[in-house]
Structures are given as structure tokens and as C-alpha cells.
């Protein structure tokens, strides 16, 4: 019976992801209209295939005529390029030096800001995209994923479309919001999202131990390969059974923490029992000044 419930939950979560991202983009569309992405040739939607690697979506993105591979990451604002050693021919426009913060155990990093770039995904294009470029050769996600990864892209792309992500078919459809008609699917729920500083959040609840259920505000983060990250506080205590582990790599270095299981993760009326969770070391987040009431992240594994 338990396996049947798990399989049902996985099926339901595909619908949840689909509508979460659709709502995310509808909210983004109202938030900002600069550097706009558009569908070319009068299309009402465009379909893009992606590779699903370690619960992350890898998509082909063309930057000023050079085809690169990006992770689709709803937790990132402006697109970021890195690992360009084998792409010396790429053209970058209007470059200035900047410093950016990122997750990891290191310090803020030096980078470049490039404006006025043409970014394309088939019939989806932006002729005036800002891009950050990290030149540190040590920042390289390719070895962890086994394929070349040249950057991450998120908010600026989500902002201008209704986005339908199908994890089963490994495809994404970008719809023109003006011509999109929402159709309710069976076993799906529509959830409210809040968009703060180019990041989307949803409300859920967790049962960490055999005591009270704790309401949480989670960042919707398709760039995380884990199910859920939680930030330890007075209500969210790390269970006694855990192990120390490498959780991932951020722009500012490695991220470590504790892996464990929590009794339950609940989103609307969907419940995942014995959910795998990670509690990252909070020193990793020293560069973040304001969490906006956030208690963690909901990643691609969920």
C-alpha cells in the first residue's frame, strides 16, 4: 500500500510542478517588462526539449549566435555564464566589472556584466538580455552532471511566459500569456505563490518529529536537485538521525550540511511521507541579508 501511495504522489507532483510553474510565470509577467522575451513568427507557444540530469533541467540556449547548455533554475535572477574555456568565440556586448554574491563557503566573486545580448531558445528570443559572466575556472558544474554546463537561467525567462513543464516527456512549452487558456487537470491543485525580488515562494508544512506540524515558506527552486532544504531554527530542529554530506556547489563555493528524513512534507492536500530532507550549514548563506521569511527550498526531486 505504501508503494502505491508513493507512486500516486509522484504522479500528482508532476501536475503540481506544472501548475506551480504556470502560476510562477503569470506572477512574473506582471512584475517586470524590461528585457522582454517574445515568441517570434506569430507563434502562440514554443516547445523545447530538455535533458533531465540529477533532477535538473538542462536546455539549449543560444547566446549571440553561440549554442550553449544552461540549467533552468527558477531560483536565479539574471542569467549567469561560466565554464567558457571551450567557447572562446562567444561574443559579449557592453562589458563592465562587478562583484556578485552566491551560495557557498567562499567570499563574493568578481564577475562581468554584459548588456544588450541576443538570447534564443528556438522561437523564444530576447534581443536585450543582461548577462553576468563568472571567469573563475573553479566554478564548473559540468563534472557533477557529466555534461557541459555553461550557465544558469531562470527568472528573466520565466517572467514573460506561461510555462508548462512536463517531466515525463522532458519538454517545456512557453505560451504567450495573452493567448493562453488554462485547463484544469485531474489530480491537480492551484496554489498561491508570492514573488519577492525575482524569486517565487510557496507555503507548505512539515512534520520533522512526532510532534506538531510546522508551517514553512519555501523557495521554488528548480535548480536544486534535492527534494527539500530546511533552515534550522527554534521550530525546525534537525532529527537525531542524520549524516554530514556535500549538498552541492554554489557560485561562492561548496555547500555542506546534514541529510536526514522528516516524517512528512505537505503541500496543499498532497502528502509525502518519510521525505528526504537536507539542513544546509547556515554559514553558506552569510551573503544573503534577507530571507524574506523563507524556511528553506523545494527542489527538483520533489
Q: Are residues 149 and 22 in the same domain?
A: yes
277: domain CATH number?
A: 2.40.70
Confidence band, pLDDT 50/70/90 cuts, at residue 30: very low
Average pLDDT over residues 32-51: 83
Strand ranges across the sheet with 45-49? 45-49, 171-175, 162-166
- Domain range enclosing 190: 186-298
Q: Are residues 12 and 122 in the same domain?
A: yes
Is residue 19 in some structural domain?
yes
Is residue 181 in some structural domain?
no
Average pLDDT over residues 20-37: 49
Q: Are residues 198 and 85 in the same domain?
A: no
Q: Are residues 138 and 91 in the same domain?
A: yes
| pLDDT score at 4 | 43
| pLDDT score at 23 | 40
Q: What is the pLDDT of residues 200-238, one digit of tens each?
A: 999 999 998 777 899 999 999 998 888 899 999 888 999
SS (H, E, C) the chain: CHHHHHHHHHHHHHHHHHHHHHHHHHHHHHHCCCCCCEECCCCCEEEEECEEECCEEEEEEEECCEEEEEEECCCCCCCEECCCCCCCCCCCCCEEEEEECCCCCCCCEEEEEEEEEEEEECCEEEEEEEEEEECCCCCCCHHHHCCCCCEEECHHHHCCCEEEEECCCCEEEEECCCCCCCCCCCCCCCCCCEEECCEEEEEEEEECCCCCCEEEEEEECCCCCCCEEECCCCCCCCCCCCEEEEEEEECCEEEEEEEEEEEEEEECCEEEEEEEEEEECHHHHCCCCCCCCCCEEECCCC
| pLDDT score at 251 | 73
Domain count, the chain: 2
| pLDDT score at 16 | 40
- Provide the whole-model pTM: 0.79
Q: Are residues 228 and 208 in the same domain?
A: yes
| pLDDT score at 24 | 44
Q: Are residues 78 and 227 in the same domain?
A: no
11 pLDDT more than 90: no
Is residue 1 in some structural domain?
no
Q: Are residues 192 and 288 in the same domain?
A: yes
Is residue 231 in some structural domain?
yes
Is residue 180 in some structural domain?
no
Q: Give the Å distances, CA to CA, from 27 to 30, 45, 177.
A: 5, 18, 11
71 pLDDT more than 90: yes
Q: Are residues 289 and 267 in the same domain?
A: yes
Q: Are residues 162 and 224 in the same domain?
A: no
Last residue of a domain, one of 132, 147, 175: 175
Q: Are residues 194 and 88 in the same domain?
A: no
Q: What is the pLDDT of residues 129-155, one digit of tens each?
A: 999 998 776 677 776 777 888 999 998
| pLDDT score at 291 | 62
Q: Are residues 169 and 199 in the same domain?
A: no
| pLDDT score at 143 | 64
Q: Are residues 208 and 231 in the same domain?
A: yes
Q: Are 50 and 57 in contact (CB under 8 A)?
A: yes
Q: Are 200 and 275 in contact (CB under 8 A)?
A: no
- State the chain's mean pLDDT as an integer: 81
77: domain CATH number?
A: 2.40.70.10
Amino acid at each position: 500500500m505504501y508503494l502505491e501511495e508513493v507512486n500516486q504522489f509522484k504522479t500528482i507532483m508532476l501536475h503540481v510542478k506544472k501548475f506551480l510553474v504556470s502560476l510562477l510565470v503569470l506572477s512574473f509577467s506582471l512584475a517586470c517588462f524590461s528585457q522582454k522575451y517574445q515568441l517570434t513568427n506569430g507563434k502562440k507557444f514554443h516547445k523545447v526539449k530538455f535533458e533531465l540530469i540529477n533532477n535538473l533541467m538542462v536546455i539549449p540556449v543560444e547566446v549571440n549566435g553561440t549554442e550553449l547548455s544552461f540549467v533552468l533554475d527558477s531560483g536565479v535572477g539574471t542569467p549567469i555564464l561560466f565554464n567558457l574555456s571551450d567557447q572562446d568565440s562567444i561574443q559579449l556586448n557592453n562589458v563592465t566589472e562587478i562583484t556578485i554574491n552566491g551560495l557557498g563557503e567562499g567570499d563574493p566573486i568578481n564577475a562581468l556584466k554584459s548588456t544588450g545580448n541576443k538570447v534564443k531558445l528556438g522561437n523564444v528570443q530576447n534581443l536585450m538580455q543582461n548577462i553576468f559572466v563568472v571567469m573563475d575556472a573553479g566554478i564548473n558544474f559540468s563534472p557533477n552532471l557529466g555534461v557541459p554546463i555553461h550557465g544558469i537561467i531562470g527568472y528573466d525567462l520565466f517572467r514573460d511566459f506561461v510555462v508548462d513543464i512536463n517531466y515525463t516527456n522532458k519538454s517545456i512549452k512557453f505560451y504567450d500569456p495573452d493567448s493562453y487558456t488554462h485547463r484544469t487537470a485531474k489530480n491537480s491543485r492551484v496554489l498561491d505563490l508570492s514573488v519577492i525580488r525575482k524569486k517565487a515562494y510557496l507555503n507548505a508544512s512539515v512534520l520533522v518529529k512526532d510532534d506538531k506540524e510546522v508551517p514553512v515558506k519555501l523557495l521554488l527552486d528548480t535548480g536544486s536537485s534535492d527534494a527539500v532544504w530546511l533552515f534550522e531554527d527554534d521550530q525546525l530542529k534537525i532529527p537525531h538521525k542524520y549524516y554530514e554530506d556535500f549538498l552541492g556547489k554554489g557560485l561562492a563555493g561548496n555547500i555542506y550540511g546534514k541529510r536526514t528524513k522528516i516524517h512528512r512534507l505537505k503541500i496543499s492536500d498532497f502528502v509525502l511521507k518519510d521525505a528526504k530532507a537536507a539542513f544546509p550549514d547556515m554559514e553558506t548563506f552569510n551573503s544573503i541579508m534577507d530571507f524574506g521569511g523563507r524556511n528553506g527550498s523545494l527542489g527538483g526531486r520533489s
